[in-house]
């Protein structure tokens, strides 16, 4: 079985992508840029609508990770994939755009990371899933009268 293809654009980076393609007018014609911007705007509205329905149905807030469980996170990822499907297909049809944007993102992250302190760098690299996993560990430790810091130190020593 093949690995599931994940789209490039989602609700978190669609504005960044629009800025990127607008800056690339030498490589992309104006009509291609406007078509991409228009499709991303449509997909963003679709994503907001789907997230609103999700929040009502599951009684959670998508922008507050502490209200989400692993099932919610998986469903939100599927909402992103569904909402931005058309935009991602359009991007895939433009040769080299996906790779160029990923490279630009990596360079921006690298530059940003070099300006940060060690603590800030750790937080930046700590993605949402890891944050939620750590939060669940903290709750489990609390339920079992354990200190999370002690457990982490024990894990680190092993």
Mean pLDDT to the nearest integer, 1-21: 75
Residue 88 has pLDDT above 70, yes or no: yes
Distance CA 28, CA 31 (A): 8
- Are 136 and 143 a contacting pair, CB within 8 Å? no
pLDDT for position 125: 60
Residue 129 has pLDDT above 60, yes or no: no
Residues listed for the chain? 158
Mean pLDDT to the nearest integer, 131-148: 78
- Nearest in space to 76 (alpha carbons), one of 39, 42, 51, 56: 51
Distance CA 62, CA 87 (A): 22
Helical ranges in 24-117 per DSSP H: 30-58, 70-83, 85-92, 97-114
Residue 39 has pLDDT above 70, yes or no: yes
Question: 15 or 154: whose pLDDT is higher?
Answer: 15
At 139, is the pLDDT very low, low, confident or very high (cuts 50, 70, 90)? confident
- Please give the mean pLDDT across all residues of the chain: 79
Residue 48 has pLDDT above 80, yes or no: yes
DSSP character for 5?
Answer: P
pLDDT for position 112: 63
How many angstroms from the chain centroid is the CA of residue 41?
17
């Amino acid at each position: 079985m093949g690995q599931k293809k994940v789209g490039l654009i989602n609700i978190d980076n669609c504005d960044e992508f629009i800025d990127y393609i607008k800056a690339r007018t030498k490589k992309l014609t104006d009509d291609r840029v406007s078509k991409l911007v228009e499709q991303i705007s449509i997909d963003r509205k679709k994503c907001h609508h789907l997230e609103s329905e999700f929040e009502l149905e599951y009684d959670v807030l998508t922008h507050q990770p502490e209200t989400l469980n692993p099932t919610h996170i998986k469903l939100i990822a599927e909402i992103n994939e569904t909402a931005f499907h058309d935009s991602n297909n359009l991007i895939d049809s433009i040769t080299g755009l996906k790779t160029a944007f990923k490279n630009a993102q990596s360079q921006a992250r690298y530059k940003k990371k070099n300006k940060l302190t060690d603590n800030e760098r750790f937080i930046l690299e700590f993605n949402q899933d890891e944050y939620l996993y750590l939060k669940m560990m903290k709750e489990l430790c609390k339920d079992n009268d354990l200190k999370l810091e002690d457990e982490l130190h024990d894990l680190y020593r092993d």
